[in-house]
Structure 1
Amino acid sequence: MTKLGWGMIGGGEGSQIGPAHRLGAGLDGLFEFRAGALDHRAEAGREYGRRLGLDADRAYGDWREMLEGERDRPDRIDLVTVATPNATHFEITRDFLRAGFHVLCEKPMTMTVEEGEEIVSIARETSRICAVNYGYSGYSLVRHMRAMVARGDLGNIRLVKAEFAHGHHADAADADNPRVRWRYDPAQAGVSAQFADCGIHALHMASFVIGQELERLSADTVSCIESRTLEDDAMVNLRFDGGAVGRLWTSSVAIGRQHGLTLQVFGEKGGLSWAQEQPNQLYWMPLGGRRQVIERGEAGLSPEADRSSRVTIGHAEGMPLAFANIYADLAEAIAARKTGREMDAAADLYPRAEDGLRSMAAVFAVAESSRSDGIWTEARPPMFR
């Protein structure tokens, strides 16, 4: 297959997320890195792009220059990844979609529900792919969990428990650290800090695995470090449209927790448990049976798990490999559209703009519910009610 053209906005030198995207996009040889606007400092972005191998005329100074430079090229990029600060996601994603590019946007997709609805509408009107990087849904055993639920191994799902709790912002002395402070500043982060940063990953994974969408929620949020305006800990009760109950805890002050993304799913026939820090093992407890360990890469797993398992059994699976599965899904979707064929069903798992919109609606619902002492609050965006 001819390599697809890929470009990146943001993710420059020293970026936390940029290398993971570049590794993920390049892993399978499906995408070629052809264009980038990698830094808010124009010359630094151009210089870094050239060092990464971009042609000088495609190492752009900013995203607007990149849009104009790529728009009419016969070899223009097929997919652009938006990995810039949160408040810029909407404008960049909107304009590239309107220009006919497929987009993978970092989360959160937008800063408001209204912006999210506009992105969904534009993606539908232009028939362009707009994906959102809930990259942890790319893990092989997360996809196997989804397959087990879908084929009925657990029966009706009763309860899902999701956590994304770490302790890396627990030091009150870090209150003035600019790398931390902005996350709790409403002017830069919006209406939510920890839930919008980490909680929506846990929420998306829960919904992704059980195949149900969030309808309403009740939230209790707190700023454990009093100088913070926005929350650093949240406990959220969830109700899904298929009848499942959810419990979600997210925190940035849980000293001793590192990454802390875990998911447990309980149905009438059994339960599943997975942790992102130990991604090679999925624990399965059938009703009345003994607990079993499902190993990533072993024989007899689902097509979704087989397709997304990258290294032989027993070797560590890492975050860039999960990102690579999202990129592989997108490559398959773009190639299928180009050739007019049906895409591989086992690859049709990338998070959509609709997922980004639902997450933003949940962020605002959490903020509203917490302000109202945990009152049950509608969590669906208006266009999906």
Structure 2
Amino acid sequence: MAVLNWGMIGGGEGSQIGPAHRLGARVDGLFDFVAGALDHRPEAGRDYGRRLGLAADRSYGDWREMLEGERARADRVDLVTVATPNATHFEITRAFLKEGFHVLCEKPMTMTVEEGEEIVALARETGRICAVNYGYTGYSLVRHMRAMVARGDLGRVRMVVAEFAHGHHADAADADNPRVRWRYDPAQAGISAQFADCGIHALHMASFVIGQQVERLAADTVSCLPSRVLEDDAQVNLRFDGGAAGRLWTSSIAIGRQHGLTLQVFGEKGGLRWAQEQPNQLYWMPLGERLQVIERGEAGLSPEADRSSRVTIGHAEGMPLAFANIYKDLAEVIAARKAGRTPDPAADLFPRAEDGLRSMAAVHAVAASGKAQGVWLDARPPMFR
């Protein structure tokens, strides 16, 4: 496979997410990092890009300059990653899709359902890929869970329980910390804080694994710190289109929890449990049998799990490698399109614009249900009803 050209917007020096993307995109040698607009401060972005090895004429001051500089190049980027503040995702993603670029956008893809529907329509109209970085679905054993559900190992799925709870925003003394404050400010975060930040990861993973989309939900949201306008804890009841029920808890005030992303799936014939902080083990309990521990990298796993596992069994697998699997999927699909061939079916797992749209519809439904004391609401975007 020929190496593809990759560019990044945002993710500058000191960014939490930028290094994970740069590691993930390049670990398999499938992308070259050739262009970037890495900081909202033009000179800082140009300088950092050059220090990362970008050519001076492709280390841009802002995304508009990057779009202008890349659109006419014969060696223009094949994929653009958008890792900027949430409120800018829609404008940047739309602009690059219109110019025929493939895009990987950080979540949330947009701030409104209407914007999400526009991005879905635009991606379909242009034929360009618009992926959304629900990167935790890149973990090998998450993909194996999906394969087990799809082949019927659990029988009909009855219940899915998802959590993404941490305690890193529990200190009231952090109320004025700019790295925390913006997340609970409606002007910057939109209508939701914790659910839009972490809850949608858990929701997307649930849908990804069980192969069902949420139809209705009822939410209990609370701001445990009185100074916060937006929620820092949410408990959401879910009903999926394939008949499964769901429970989702997300929190930023759960002292003692670190990352806290876990998923449990209960079916007619067995149950599964996985935690992101121990990603090498998947716990499988067949009905009436002993608990089994499935190890990442062991023999006999699904093609989806094998393709997304790089290091030998017993060694740690981390978040950048999960991100790398999203990039590996995208590289395979983009390369297949260029070559006019069918991509590897095990690579067709990256989250799409449709997933980003469903997440935004769920965010708005959770916010509305929380304000209405937990009333059940339709969680589907209008274009999918």
Question: TM above 0.5, one fold?
Answer: yes
CA distance in structure 2 between the aligned counterparts of 1:179 and 1:296, rounded to whole angstroms: 35
- Distance, in Å, in 2 between the alignment partners of 1:262 and 1:4 is 34
CA distance in 1, matches of 2:119, 2:340: 24
For residues 168-227 of structure 1, give each alpha carbon's deviation from its aligned partner in whole angstroms, at most 9, with x where no partner exists. Answer: 000011111111000000010000000000000000000000000010100000000000
Query: CA offsets per residue over residues 323-377 of structure 1, 9 Å max, x none?
Result: 0000000000101111111110001000000000000000000011111110000
Give the SS at the match of 1:357. Answer: helix
1:206 and 2:206 matched? yes
How far did 1:251 drift?
A: 0.1
Query: For residues 305 and 243 of structure 2, what CA distance do their matches in structure 1 show?
Result: 26
What is the deviation of 1:2? Answer: 1.7
Which SS does the other structure have where 2:120 is aligned? helix
Corresponding residue number in structure 1 for 2:294: 294
Q: Deviations over 1:219-268 (max 9, x none)?
A: 00000000000000000000000000000000000000000000000000
State the secondary structure of the residue aligned to 2:163. strand
What's 2:21 paired with?
21
Q: Distance in 2 between matches of 1:73 and 1:238?
A: 47
Match of 2:183 in 1: 183
Q: Is the 8 A contact 2:82 2:105 kept in 1?
A: yes
Q: Name the residue aligned to 2:49.
A: 49
CA distance in 2, matches of 1:160, 1:291: 18
User: Contact 2:137–2:208 at 8 Å: present in 1 too?
Assistant: yes
| Distance across 1 between alignment mates of 2:231 and 2:353 | 26
Task: Map 1:240-259; keep pairs closer than 5 Å.
Answer: 240-259=240-259
Q: Is the 8 A contact 2:2 2:335 kept in 1?
A: no
Aligned residues: 385
What per-residue deviation string (whole Å, max 9, x for no partner) do you get for residues 85-129 of structure 1?
A: 000000000000000000000000000000000000000000000
Residue in structure 2 matched with residue 279 of structure 1 by the alignment = 279
Residue in structure 2 matched with residue 37 of structure 1 by the alignment: 37
The aligned amino acid for 2:117 is: E
1:140 aligned onto 2:140: yes
C-alpha distance in 2 between matches for 1:141 and 1:56: 41
**1:129 aligns to what?**
129
Q: Which residue of 2 aligns with 1:349?
A: 349
User: Which residue in the other structure is 1:93 paired with?
Assistant: 93
Q: What is residue 65 of structure 1 aligned with on the other side?
A: 65
CA distance in 2, matches of 1:322, 1:180: 25
Structure 2: which amino acid aligns with 1:243?
G
Residue 153 (structure 1) aligns with = 153
User: 1:134-187: CA deviations, max 9, x gaps?
Assistant: 000000000000000000000000000000000000001111111100000001
Structure 2 equivalent of residue 325 of structure 1 = 325
Q: Give unpaired runs (5+ residues) of structure 1.
A: none
SS at match of 1:300: coil
Is residue 375 of structure 2 the alignment partner of residue 368 of structure 1?
no
3-state DSSP class of the match of 1:70?
A: helix
Letter in 2 for 1:67: L
**Over the residues paired in the alignment, what is the CA RMSD in angstroms?**
0.3
Equivalent residue letter for 1:215: E
- With normalisation by structure 1, the TM-score equals 1.00
Amino acid at match of 1:44: A
2-structure distance, mates of 1:100, 1:88? 19
Alpha-carbon distance in 2 for matches of 1:230, 1:47: 36
SS in 1 for 2:175: helix
> Partner amino acid for 1:145?
M
3-state SS of the aligned residue for 1:8? strand
TM-score by length of 2: 1.00
Alignment pair present for 1:110 and 2:110: yes
Query: In the aligned structure 1, how far is the partner of 2:186 from the partner of 2:77?
Result: 35
Alignment match, 1:172:
172
1:182 maps to amino acid:
W
Residues 192, 231 of structure 2: 8 Å contact kept? yes
Q: CA deviation at 1:56?
A: 0.4
Hey, what's the Cα distance between the residues in 2 that align with 1:64 and 1:246?
42
SS for the counterpart of 2:36 is: strand
The residue aligned with 1:216 is 216
* Partner secondary structure for residue 363 of structure 1: helix
* SS in structure 1 of the partner of residue 219 of structure 2: strand
In the TM superposition, residue 273 of structure 1 has moved relative to its aligned partner by 0.1
Question: Percent sequence identity over matched residues?
Answer: 86
